[in-house]
Amino acid sequence: MHKPRLTFSCVLHIWFGLLLLVLVGSAALAAGGEDGQGAIKVLVMPFEVNAQDDLSNLRTQIAGVLAQRLEKEGAVTITVQAPDVEAALKTTAASLDEIRSKAREEGAQHVIWGSFTLIGTIFSLDVRMMSVLPGAPAERFFAQGQNLESLITVANDLADQIGLKLFERQLVTEIRIQGNQRIESDAIL
């Protein structure tokens, strides 16, 4: 009597099949949003800019980059328009409850805000994301780069990290395949 054996190729196909199911399932969940009725709505506030030079134009540009990237992942984003930037920045300097209240007013389920700091040629992006649910903690994200030319790339990478958390996705970092047993050809369907 022969024991059925799995080939390396068969095990590899099974793993890739499972990985594909996970990816398709997470994409379907992201398209359905938090409640299964629609996309997740996110208010992206203007960023506080800390730099020696006047880089106030980055307040809304960084928020715009994050919003565009999150929209590609399936979120509906709300950004603050130019005339309201100063008032929005005062809100982000306020308490978490005031930030949460502003997001609720805009019809968002989550709010993102943060700061950009430039010292010499090195910059950092410090971002916080929070649900509008009372008592929800603010998640923190951080990235840094060198030279303003890399700002968009760094912001996009940061948006990917935020997207993983926002859509509750997991990043597959390792797939282990053990053994090299074979299945007889008549046992494969």
Q: Could you read off the pLDDT of 110-120 as tens digits, one per residue?
A: 999 999 999 99
Please give the structure tokens belonging to residue 110: 């989550």
pLDDT at position 41 over 80: yes
Q: Residue 99's pLDDT is what?
A: 84
3-state secondary structure at position 167: coil
Return the beta strands (E) in 45-133 as ranges: 48-50, 76-79, 110-119, 122-131
Question: Residue 150 has what DSSP assignment?
Answer: G
What confidence tens digit (pLDDT) does each residue in 60-82 have? 899 999 999 999 988 899 887 75
pLDDT at position 14 over 50: yes
pLDDT at position 109 over 90: yes
Q: Find where tokens 């024991």 sit.
A: 3
Q: Residue 79's pLDDT is what?
A: 86
